[in-house]
Structure 1
Amino acid sequence: MKKKILIIEDDKIVRENTAEILQLANYDVITAENGKVGIEKANFFKPDLVICDILMPELDGYGVLQIIMRNKLLQKIPVIFMSAKTKHDDVRRGMDLGASDYITKPFEESELLSAVASRLKRRDLLAADPTKESEVIKKWQINEIEKAFHHKEIMEYKLGTTIYCEGNISNHIFYILKGEVKTFKTNQEGKELITEIFFDKSFFGFTSLLENKPYTENAEAIKDTSLIRIQKHELFELIKTNPKLGLNFMDLLSADLEYVKHHLLHLVYDPVRSKTADAILYLHGKVGLKKTVDISRSDLASYLGIAKETLTRTLTDFKEEKLIETFKNEIQILDHEGLQRIR
């Protein structure tokens, strides 16, 4: 069945041209000449997506969005703002109110179709499994950012290869297409403490966007890894020219920072069983649809700040309690809820 799209736009030429593009792409299109009529048609037709201008008579785009967000029958419909207004505070206001995206007029046909397809796909994923909203949003954010840098050269790092060292100037951030990377610090006695482990579709190596501060840790591939290097000025340009993608990137970094704080509290205060269960659950979540976490015992012990022998005993206990199964370096979760009760 065709997806229904409601276009709310007071400029007749823009409204008709946008409708024609979407109809040619096999969408069922409904149009409205102002916000008031748009709300009436949204209530009647229950569209799958709304494209809305901001500056309009009767009711502007912000008003339309606020009414949609308050209506339980409409509030899950994604709204894309379409406007010549390009100031960052206008974008921020729309995103704060709940807009899904922002297209600046004039726009390319491909830009419009890409935005529509992306928002409809995300809506379908959430409708299929609303309990995984944060996971779906993160996947969507990463895919959008990945597309912005698809032209970058792919760098290959073999298992055990150093990517950067503590003290190197941080001219780049890194994005893992496929593989596994650990970041770690080494104390004066040569003991290693892993600060984070990164899997497919992860960014790492971020220090400061505006300053060339040195890296504060080392990074090493712990599997054969393919990644791209993004120069800071490229990321800065992305944030300036595409504020939505910039906000997505910052959101991902904020989520990573929150877990780092959480992980440090576990290291300091929690018993071995609790922090081991927490790490297994966390790493399992990072690998996505895979059923197992692939990590060496020495790396996992270093990540937890405990002796390898202590980790081995804890994993053996978990196996006997039928919480996990292990195969060489792989850990498979058998009882997710059981681990959650321990964490």
Structure 2
Amino acid sequence: MKDKVYRFRYLLLITAIILSLQSITGCVKNADSVGGDNQINSEVNDDVMKVDSIDKSTKHDEKPVVDKVEKSDEIKEVEESEMLDPLQGIEGGELENVRFGLGTKLEDIATELGEPDQEGWFSGYYINYDDIFYFGDGSDRTGSVSLISVRNNHELLGVKLGMTTEEIIEVLGSPDLQGFIDSDAELSGGSWYISYIRNGYVLSFYSDNMNEKTNLLDYMKEKRSVESGGVNTDVVLSFYEFGADDYDNPEDIKVITISEEEYNNNLVKVLNLIFSESGISLNNLTINEDEKLVIADLTEAASINFDNGSCGGITRTNVLVMTLLNLPGVEKLKVTVEGVENVYGNHFSFEGIFMLNENGGYDLLHID
């Protein structure tokens, strides 16, 4: 008898549970039918949203908010970010993993980092810390950084020095410029380069040959010429180097670019930096544009170097004369020592006017 009672109670309990579930389901259905089919779809099938199931006759302007819409927006943002130009990072005058950017005063860098590892002149005044060279637009530390040159394994924009130019192109895309360059070109680490230009800034990678490993990168403001619609304010100087083996032909001609302002205001300082390894130093320099004549006044110490053996006299005279006669607009040169004209020694003579000749050399014309 007890078993029957228990069984009956058990059946009653099961029946009550089933009825309760049915009543709850009925309540849900009734409530959903008031709110619109869109609510039914969003609750019954949480993974699918049918746009055409939205009841257009509803009096409410509320739109269903579904997680999938938010996720699609996130995916869109990721896709858009992947489409961004990786070279946008060079557009602001700063270079990734380089502490100071273009326009920074060299003296401010030295104040912050201490005395540089190297300092001097090479196609511009520079200070060097580890593998980074900051080149200024002046003749000393008062200038501002106009070019950043980096050696060795520097990393930026997903590439690094040591990769081949071909590997860099795979990451950054086709360069705006590429080709072979003269081995003596300014600051070049090799004979092949690729350059990327963005918003007036230029990032260049150099290697010894096409598709070989890169060993140098340069970063600078783009120099615009008159032909391209800009104003070229640079002046090009040619520094002639002579050796003892051939007095008639230069061993090398280095092309040096300085700003027009530097040319007009600090030419003597720039030339003294260029001439420093040759033992030549100037007190001042005067250019007479009407006569196309430059007058260079040497220090007494420099004149003594000119008399240091016949080889020293000839090579220093060649360096001085050919460099100054190739200044813009100059055809004649007069050399003085501490203001004194027509000075001569055992191995040199400044008696007269130096002029370029048809053979690409120069002649000394004596004037009575």
Shorter chain as denominator, the TM-score bin is under 0.3
Normalised by the length of structure 1, the TM-score is 0.26
Structure whose alpha-carbon radius of gyration is higher: 2
Highest RCO, 1 vs 2 (Cα 8 Å, sep ≥ 6): 1
More helix by share: 1
Normalised by the length of structure 2, the TM-score is 0.25
